[in-house]
Structure 1
Amino acid sequence: MSSKKSVDEIWKELNAPKSKPARQGVAGLSVGLGGLPGVTSIIRTKPAATPAVHPHTNAAPQAQERPQPDLSDSPYSASDVGEDAAAYLATLQRTINCLGDPDRALRRTAATTLQTKLFTGDTSTPKASAAQLQALLCGPLLRPLVAMLSDSVERCRAVALSVLLDGGRQLSDVAPLLPELVPELSRRFGALPVQEPAEEIRLQIAQLTLLLLTMAPSTQIARFAPDLGAILCRSLEDGFPDIKKAGCSAVEAAAARLPFTALEPEAERLINSLAPNLQHQHSRVRLACIQALDALVAAGAPMALVEGSVATALRPVGHDRAQPVREAVFAALARWMGYRAPPLAGAAPAETAAAGSGQAGDAAASGAAIAARVSACGLGPPYNGSRPGPGCRAMVRSLLPQHLPPLVKQLGEWTSGLRVAAARGLHTTLVLAEDGATAHLRLLLPGLCSAVADDELEVASYVVSCVHVIGAHVSPAEWLPRMIDMLAPAGGGGGGVEAVNGGAAEAAAAGRGSGGLSTSQRTHALVVLSGLLHAAGRAGRELPPALLAALAGVLAEEGMLAAAAEHAAVRQQLLAVTSNTLAWGGAACAAVALPLHVVLLQLYGSELAGGGTGGDAPGRGAGTTHAPARALVAMAKLAACCGAAAASCDAPSLAWRPRPSDATWQHILRAALLTASPATLAALAPSLVAALHPILADREREPTLRLALLQLLDGVLEDSERGPALAAGAGQALLTDVLLPPLVWQAGKTAAAVRYAAVTALATLLGRRLPAPEHVLAAVEPPSPDDATAAAAAQARQQTGAGASSGPPGAGSGLLPLLSSALDEDWYTDMRLAACFVTEKLLELVGPQLSDASRRALYPELHKRLDDAHNAVRVAACGALRAFVAAAGPAYCDTNSGYLVAGVVIHMDDGDAAVQEAACSVLLAAAAAKPAVTAAEVRKVRERFRSKHYCDRVLAACEAAAKGG
């Protein structure tokens, strides 16, 4: 039996140090961390066998997977860099050493760690600065990174190229990279068969090559032209589209940076590698390839080489489905053909000399005119404002009969791409044909009118450019008669134009007249006509006076003006045509000032009236917002052409042939009244009254017309300058013949609206104190003429067209009965309110001159309004009564004064405070004129009133007036 251990022995055993158990690794060895790959341990585990060499990597060396780089004798050792870079390199040395480790995972981890430390930084190493990157990448890091480009691990090769790409973009000088880097890149991707299997890495090689070509000095790049050319050829031949695009960009950079003497040995190889890519399935590859070819040709590539290898491949590209590709190829072809322009240009002097000295003199004299026509066309690239050569022009003119019909037909194709191609081709054809298009106007003008509003903006832009070319190069005597006949009314339009043109039969056959044109067709024809006029004016063409007269007559034709009144699109284009006519014709437009002025007045009046159908809404955007202002600008141009008195000369014949059922007349009259000068308007006022009186005095005429005319008059009277001019020029007739007849009562709500418009205009007239007091007094209390005078007045009415029945019953009884009728209006509260205002202003203007009979007839009607259902009318009636008391004065009889005060005093106790205050103001005015009468009436009711303070105010005023008197 074993002896028991003491407590001390047990304590010693518990506190004794224990031995560590041996840990077995994966291979059964004591390696500390279990043999994890890439981690330093006591015993390193080596690979069991040498892995097989990748078929796309170098076969040597075979003894081990990756040779260990020897940096001890390298010229890029740490001793060659600065102290700052050397200190930074010391923090990276362990990672750099691991780049050549036999362990694949360790090399991959080291490469990733190096990339992170250099460009992002970590807890132990900050991110490298630009100076440190310059020293390290061009020094100690270069050979390890270049060596990693042949690593069997794809990740290592990708990281090495990423470090070189990201670092190269930050280097100030990449020339030190070239001797080590370019040969290795060429070995990996320039030789056949290509050793690099990964397309992502081949893309990085192409991008790095582009970087070197862009940033390295051209003298240094030229030394490596063969290697770089090989890399570019492999990039262009690669199957990966992004590599092809990077290769094309690199070719552009090489053509721009290298002298062609260095690039010439590689030019044929590059062109042969580029040509197949013109048929690539990706449009961006095709576009990049065209740009690279263009750069090579611009650098000096032989045209014979281009024609032999590229011309055949370019032929289908002209019909490429991608528009940017087509634009690029035609622009490139134009530039390539430009190198042969000098021989064609040199042929011109020979042609001129052969034509004889007389023709040479004519050509010199017309040189400026031709230059103006070419400039008016507004030609962009590839013309850039220059005229094509004579050989090109002669060739196109000879082919016009065969070339134009299919182009015009294709403008109506369903596919937008075909329409764009046809419009572009037609523009090029017309630019080269110049005035050769004259014989084909019968085909061209209708086709352009149909295509000018194409939904595709590019098609419409090309069509407008075609219109400008025709307007600049073709004589107006050829296209203007055709456009006039197209817009003229059916059966009446083109006789004068045909006589001017001479060839009447053909012009009549071509012109159909606008009687059968729809609104859209009329608009499209006006767009084309506007473009033709604009280009002809810029080209300095001569406008025959007969054609100008015919054009002005068509623009001012009644059907055209009616279409402009109804449709905003027609209005906008008609304004453009008129403005371009004024800009082109200049002083010659004075001969057609009247029709042009009518057109501009129509456009201005229609815009003010807000005319336009709902279908025109899309066209009424920002372009039509300032249409009235543009119409006024055009009127100013017309005035400048015709003199300042143009409006005075034209206005008497504008609209004094009333057509009240025609909206066009209303718009012209509106514009004439709102644009005429005050002096002109004063002179026209009698004629205006004579024209409006038959319409406004006839209760059977259209209410809408009468209403519109009264609103127009109200707007003119509100004008600060034209209102006084109209009132002074029209005199009493404005009241008695224009504003009083519509006030006669007639059953119906529509007739009430007409009466309200007349009361509103009368309120404006009297509120602004525009008429002379004697004219107003004559309208309120008309004199009773004798029989002879009445007969003369009847004869005058017959001469003005009013007739015996033109004046309605009651029209000759003066203003007060009509005003009393308006005060008692049932339909409109605003009518009664406006009538109270008119009464107040009437009393202020002629109240002291009114007879007692007129006063006795007036104030009872105002008393009635004090019981109106609307407080606003009651307050307005108090204002009129206050004016009545002030006008009557102290001399007015006490009896009528008492009646007036008694009718008002009761309303000082009204439930509405505003009515109480208004009634009190009437009695305060009465207290100043008749203190005794007013005080007596107020004392009768004071004890019954709730608001006794109003009575006290009036009694105090009466007492003060009595003492002062």
Structure 2
Amino acid sequence: MAAAAEAAEVAQALTRPLSCLQEPDCGRAARLRALEAIRAELQGRPLSGAAVQEVFGAQLVRPLARCVVGDAAERCRELALQLLRHGLSHGDRPGEALPVLLPALAQRLCPPQGSEPSEELRLGLVQLLGVLLQRCGASVGPYLTDVIRILQATLLDHYAEVRRESCRCAVACAQAVPEHFHMQSESLIKPLMQTISHQHYRVRVDVIQATGAVIQFGNGKSVDDVVSHLAQRLLDEIPKVRHAVTTVIGEWLLHLRDRYSYFHKLIPLLLGSFTDEIPENGKLAWTYWEKIGLQWEKENEEDLKDKMDFSVSPSHYPKGVTRPGLGCRELVSRNLYKILPGLCHDITDWVESTRIKASELLYTLLLHAEDHITQHMELLLRTLYQACLDEESNVVKNCVKAAELIGTFVSPKVSLKLITAAFEKTPKPSCVMVLAAVIRGSPKEILRPHLADLAGTLSQAGVCQRSEEVFYTEQLLCCVQALIEVCQEDCKEISLQLMKILVTIMAIACSQHVKEKVEETMSSLAEVQQLDSSLDLYKQHITQLMEWVSVSCDCWTCCSPEILQLDVIATHSGPVIGEALNDFILILKTCLQPDKDPQMRLKLFTVLSQLFQKASETVNSQGLFPSYLETVIKDILAPNLQWHAGRTAAAIRTTAVSCLWALIHCEMLSPEEILKVKDGLMPQVIAAMDEDSKITRLMALRIVGVFLKVCGRQFDEDKFTSVYTEVLKRLDDASCDVRLAAAHTLTNWFKCLKDSDVKSAMESHIEFLYQELLIHLDDPDQNTQNAVLEVLKEGSVLYPELLVREIEGAVRKHQTPVYSTRPVVEDPGTWILSKRKVLYDLKHSTWTFHVYTCTLLPNVCQRTLAIHMHSVQVILHLLWTLRLKIK
């Protein structure tokens, strides 16, 4: 009764405003005043829900609806809309307004009639629809078509807030009339999917939530239409969007009516969230997944009874990883054949983010599938071979982790057979990378029976010598490292094959970084065999390694990898190479013949030269090398000292001469050996003094000097002549070092001639040599002048008077004279030389020298000659040396 009285009172108060509002010729101001009056009456006094409903339903709904739909004034439409929302919110029976309001809303919002220009009013109208859906519930059923029409339009509205409110209305509608909604739910999928990539992330979140509700309460077949869009949103950069997707997928997998039909499409989306960069999202996904697995396990308890009762945990499992429950594992295993093809396609997608997410999902799936991976091995390996070549490091990293799971769960009998079969074709770096990962993931005990075959495959020339590419050699090295890491002491069985691989990598690697890693790996291999160092590895296998390298040595060219392998073995085995001299020298003798490839010979001579520089620590470490000296000199060095045209031939002669000098310098070539080989080597060494290479000329002069020291006193006149004439030419050499070496060699030549029987026969040659040496006293290089002076001092003992005469003649020929008028004083620095007098003034600090020629009579006839300071100093030094010899 009270409500009726209140309603009657309000209705009486609203009579005048309503009549004004309904008059056709009522102006805008009048309508606005009327609406304000209505609002004042409704909101200005406390009314019960029944009273509001009585007034609202009987008198206000239709006028206000007409105003909302047709009033030209925006302010009037706004006030009318506010009044409608107030009436629906406070009235007891809002469903009674549905026949009036829903058509009005459809007329105002749906095309082609829909023409509400104001964004705020469009938002208000959709909010009004939301109030109707929330308050009317199942009563909306008969009007579902109008609601769907409205939402189809408003979900595509230009105003973002209208779209968001429309999504909320879609959720409310699905929950309000689920028994009718499934028949028309598909109509909303298209506009929702058109909005799911909206630029505002809040809109995207609302659309995802609305999609979840529309399909949850609607037609499950729509999953096919939305799953690809949801997959894209898993790559969204906004964490809240990814969180919404995870929630929706988790709810579907738990509660969707036809979820069994869509497991293969929904499971990848949920598992993809495991690796979300936001921990909360990953934890949410894992929580849902555990619930889903337990639910499925419970629903299929009969089928899983044996596995639940008798299943045994694997003995070998990835460290630090929690094993999923039985239901989760079974769900993945039973759907893997449907999931894997599409996933493998996505791993090679052109979009980087898609490839990364797909590679992360692959690891998660394989972790669940365990030994069920076996039936999918061919597809998996093809995908991994391609994905491991990806430019994105995260893709490669995830695929390597997935390959390790293959080693963990798949029998090596299957996996290794398939992988090594790919090596029969052209092995790619990615194939080797996958193999290394499989080895790392394999248990030691299961891998042991396959070690020999695996090491044999890797050590084949077609595999380990395939490429010099750094990436390839690094992956091959990773295989060896994985074998050592996993198999430990079992590697003793395949130690030789691993050494062959490591030697090959060291030989062909261009990167110093790779070479350092090889040395570390060799140390690891020695350690697992309880050896002290890699030298012990060489000692253990040196014979087999030399046999392995020398198999085809007769056919080697400059491009043969065996040359590089021999280089590594010889230079890195240290003293061990001294234990394999028989094989080593045989290889050198075979390959260093003059008819072999010049470039190859040059490489081998370079290796030999390096070894000779530290002979006591390499080839002669056991003291056995002297027994091979004759072979080395006569069959290897001597033939390669012969002159042949070309730069390569010249380089070979240079290295051959360097090797010969190294033998002599380290005293491996004893005086007795020199006596044996001098006749065969001397002509080639003398000829080498005229080579274009400075180093060749220098080494040749040093070698001749040593020959003179050892056996020069046994030379005849012809040999003495041939030696000095060639050495003398080198005093005109452009190189100061070569000129110095020539002077030292001539010193040895004079020493040999001093006690020789051919001294008298060589007088004319000695006189010529004095003349030439005095000329070279004027050499621009002071060191050379001093060296020539030493030669003259050594040679002066042969014919001193002859030398004095030559000196007096040479003084006038040195640089342009400059006269000095400084007086000369007799002092103790004066000597008598065969009726000639030379005064050497030692008192003057200016180092001015004066040479006087005079008789012993009292009247001194003198002339003063000033000459180039250093030349005079050298000559006077020489004369001082000769004075006692003349006496």
TM-score > 0.5, shorter chain as reference: yes
Contact map agreement 1:603 1:631 (CA 8 A) in 2: yes
Q: Would you say 1:705 and 2:600 are equivalent positions?
A: yes
**What is the aligned counterpart of 2:788 among 899, 918, 922?**
922
CA contact (8 A) 1:374 1:472 kept: no
Within 5 Å, give how 1:710-729 maps onto structure 2.
710-717=605-612, 722=617
Q: State the 1:850 CA deviation.
A: 2.9
The answer on whether the counterparts of 1:693 and 1:738 sit within 8 Å (CA) in structure 2 is yes
State how 1:436-585 maps to structure 2 within 5 Å.
436-454=372-390, 463-487=399-423, 514=424, 517-518=425-426, 521-536=427-442, 540-564=443-467, 566-585=468-487
How do 1:146-225 residues align onto structure 2 when only pairs under 5 Å count?
none
- Structure-2 residue corresponding to 1:849: 710
Pick closer, same or farther for the CA change 1:728–1:426 going to 2, 3 Å. Answer: same
Cα drift, residue 904 of structure 1: 2.2
- Corresponding position: 1:946 with 2:815: yes
Distance 1:396 1:833, change over 3 A: closer
Q: 1:858 aligns with which of 720, 723, 726?
A: 723
- Displacement of 1:53 in angstroms is 8.4
Residues 323-344 of structure 1, C-alpha deviation per residue, up to 9 Å, x if partnerless?
4544636655433572462574
Over 3 Å counting, the alpha-carbon distance change for 1:592 and 1:346 in structure 2 is same
The answer as to 2:636 corresponding to 1:754 is: no
How much does 1:743 deviate? 3.5
Output aligned runs, 1:348-427, within 5 Å.
Answer: 363=312, 366=313, 369=315, 372-373=317-318, 375=320, 385-401=321-337, 403-404=339-340, 426-427=362-363
Once superposed, what is the RMSD of the aligned Cα atoms?
5.3
Deviates more, 1:931-940 or 1:427-436: 931-940
Contact 1:586–1:641 at 8 Å: present in 2 too?
yes
1:319 to 228, 239, 256: 228
Q: Which residue of 1 is the match for residue 588 of structure 2?
A: 692
CA displacement 1:568-621 (0-9 Å, x = unmatched)? 4432322222222222221111111111101111110112xx4xxxxxxxxxxx
How far apart in 2 are the matches of 1:58 and 1:728?
A: 123
Counterpart Cα distance in 1 of 2:163 and 2:569: 66
User: How far is the alpha carbon of 1:918 from its aligned partner?
Assistant: 1.5
Match of residue 670 from structure 1: 567
Query: 1:589 aligns to what?
Result: 491
Tell me how far apart the structure 2 counterparts of residues 473 and 849 of structure 1 sit (CA, whole Å).
74
Please give the alpha-carbon distance, in whole angstroms, between the structure 2 residues aligned to 1:625 and 1:401: 45
Paired residue total: 634
Superimposed CA distance per residue, residues 745-781 of structure 1 (whole angstroms, 9 cap, x where no aligned partner): 1432142232123224445555xx3233xx1534542
Matches within 5 A, 1:83-122: none
Say whether the 8 Å CA contact 2:612–2:663 is kept in structure 1. yes
State the shift of 1:736 in Å: 1.5
Partner of 2:84: none
Q: Contact (CA 8 Å) 2:731, 2:743: kept in 1 or not?
A: no
Does structure 1 residue 646 correspond to structure 2 residue 504?
no
Task: Say whether the 8 Å CA contact 1:879–1:918 is kept in structure 2.
Answer: no
Structure 2: where are the runs of 5+ without partners? 1-26, 39-73, 76-104, 110-115, 124-150, 182-187, 237-241, 250-269, 271-283, 817-867
Question: What is the alpha-carbon distance in structure 2 between the residues aligned to residue 884 and residue 755 of structure 1?
Answer: 24
5 Å-filtered alignment, 1:691-840, equals 691-696=587-592, 698-717=593-612, 722=617, 730-731=625-626, 733=628, 736=633, 740-749=637-646, 750-763=648-661, 769-772=665-668, 775-782=669-676, 813-825=679-691, 829-830=692-693, 832-840=694-702
The whole-number CA distance in structure 2 between the counterparts of 1:463 and 1:902 is 83
2:689 touches 2:700 (CA, 8 Å); kept in 1?
Answer: no
**How big is the shift at 1:400?**
4.2
Letter in 1 for 2:287: G
- Structure number with larger C-alpha Rg: 2
Task: Decide whether the 8 Å contact of 2:235 with 2:353 is kept in 1.
Answer: no
The one-letter amino acid paired with 1:595 is: Q
Query: Residues of 1 paired with 2:539 and 2:793: CA distance?
Result: 54
Cα distance between partner residues in 2 of 1:957 and 1:240: 109
Amino acid at match of 1:279: M
One-letter code aligned to 1:479: S
| 8 Å Cα contact 2:594/2:640 also seen in 1 | no
Query: Where does 1:7-46 land on structure 2 (aligned, <5 Å)?
Result: none
**Contact 2:507 / 2:567 at 8 angstroms: preserved in 1?**
yes
Contact 1:562–1:664 (Cα < 8 Å) also in 2: yes
What is the percentage of aligned positions where both structures have the same residue? 19
Q: CA 1:558–1:238 in structure 2 vs 1: closer, same or farther (change >3 Å)?
A: closer
Write out per-residue CA displacement over residues 99-124 of structure 1, whole angstroms, 9 at most, x where no aligned residue.
xxxxxxxxxxxxxxxxxxxxxxxxxx
8 Å Cα contact 2:160-2:200 kept in structure 1: no
Q: After TM superposition, give the deviation of residue 473 of structure 1 in Å.
A: 1.8
Contact 2:777 2:788 in 1 (8 A): no
Matches within 5 A, 1:904-915: 904-909=773-778, 913-914=780-781
Q: Which residue of 1 aligns with 2:740?
A: 878
Aligned counterparts of 2:506 and 2:805: Cα–Cα separation in 1: 62
- 1:59 and 1:963, CA in 2 relative to 1: closer, same or farther beyond 3 A? farther
More off after superposition, 928-937 vs 434-443: 928-937
Task: Give the distance between the partners of 1:310 and 1:725, measured in 2 at CA.
Answer: 88
In the alignment, residue 609 of structure 2 is paired with which amino acid? D
Identify if the C-alpha distance between structure 1 residues 673 and 522 changes in structure 2 by more than 3 Å, giving closer, same or farther.
same
Deviations 1:161-202 (A, max 9, x none): xxxxxxxxxxxxxxxxxxxxxxxxxxxxxxx999x9887999
Aligned-partner SS, 2:754 = coil
Give, in whole Å, the separation in 2 of the partners of 1:862 and 1:433. Answer: 83
Report if aligned partners of 2:708, 2:752 keep a CA contact under 8 Å in 1: no
Alpha-carbon offset, residue 553 of structure 1? 0.8
Structure 2 letter corresponding to 1:669: L
Deviation at 1:876, TM superposition (A): 0.7
Identify the residue that residue 627 of structure 1 maps to in structure 2. Answer: 514
Tell me whether 1:341 sits opposite 2:290 in the alignment: yes
Q: Deviations over 1:76-114 (max 9, x none)?
A: xxxxxxxxxxxxxxxxxxxxxxxxxxxxxxxxxxxxxxx
Distance 2:642 2:389 in 1: 53
**Aligned with residue 903 of structure 1, among 772, 777, 797:** 772
Query: Is the CA contact (8 Å cut-off) linking 1:928 and 1:961 kept in structure 2?
Result: no
Structure 1 residue runs of 5 or longer lacking an equivalent are: 1-50, 63-150, 153-191, 204-232, 252-263, 298-302, 376-384, 488-513, 611-623, 784-811
The CA deviation at 1:281 is: 4.4
Instruction: Give the Cα–Cα distance (whole angstroms) in 1 for the partners of residues 606 and 428 of structure 2.
Output: 32
What is the rounded CA distance, in whole Å, between the counterparts of 1:875 and 1:541 in structure 2?
A: 63
CA apart distance, 1:885: 1.3
Residue 334 of structure 2 aligns with an amino acid whose one-letter code is S
Q: Deviations over 1:402-449 (max 9, x none)?
A: 554565577678898987787666555433311112133244334433
AA at the equivalent of 1:547: H
Q: Structure 2 vs 1, CA of residues 568 and 935 (structure 1 numbering), >3 Å: closer, same or farther?
A: farther
Q: Which amino acid aligns with 1:652?
A: T
